[in-house]
Structure 1
Amino acid sequence: MGKVKFSTPAKKARFLEVFARHGTIQSACLEVDVARSLVKYWMNNDQAFRQGMIDAKLTTVDMLKETAIDRARRGSDPLLIFLLKSLAPDEFSERIRHEFTAKTLDAVVSEVLEAIRANVPDFCPHCKTAMDIAPAIARELMDMSARLSNARKDQVAP
């Protein structure tokens, strides 16, 4: 297939169409006859093209899901198991999930602080300088607890 002469907007549109169908940048570059570096340039400099790539990727993912579901229905046990694990992880996941509530995190922070207070001296035994380690560690642990709580909220949010 010789080089096809497209204007840039037409070439971008053709690339997105082929990318959605094939699912890989390499295949689309070969079929449309554009350099991968040009696609990267378009991605970095053209918001509409970047959104088109996101949409095309979602189209490819949907197509692959449909194919996998169809094959699972036709008797592919490994695909069936994989789909169940990914689509219904609460029922079919093999992983153990560790979920911490804010109450649990606060309890852990309190336990660690108690251990520090019980085992770390207030003053250096050599130079008698006040160490004040517990307040600094308490702040760090409380900050960590807040970050973990916020990260968990972000994961749960739709």
Structure 2
Amino acid sequence: MIYLNLLCRGLLGAVFLIAFGGKVRSPAALRAFAGSLADLGWLSARLRPAAVVGLLVVEGATVLLVVWPGTAAAGFAAAFALLVVFVLGVGLSMRRGERVRCLCFGADRGPMGVSDVVRNLVLAAVAALGFGSSLAGGTAVAGGAIAAVAGGVAAGVVATRWDDLRFLLSA
């Protein structure tokens, strides 16, 4: 279970670090992300600044929490909660017929859709697996630990390029 835990920590750490970094890499990127929230018909203009700050705080905290063994379970719980909010938010927007742009990782990937919901559901499952594996404990051999974390990071990078992968597979 320790290797599953390390893989999940690497995966979610990479995903949330890339998401956080993509939004704060420049003032223009942060403004673009904040502006994309205007497309959400259910989020008032008054609440948008707080939503931007809150999201950045939770994403950044999630990265820090999943990195450290003693706080990984809390990080997985935060990741799971945030991903469920994303699934519900995208689903609600789609149901209302809103064309919300995805700036999840700092770049405009076009309107969000079913593939974003699927990606976030898969990531939520990873968070649940990670949480469960955190409860099991265990010790790891250095080589196995490095392989598990590296595999998780690689999978996390693939998850952040989900739209590109979807495009390639649909062509």
Q: What is the TM-score with the length of structure 2 in the denominator?
A: 0.24
Larger radius of gyration: 1
More helix by share: 2
Higher relative contact order (CA 8 A, sep 6+): 2
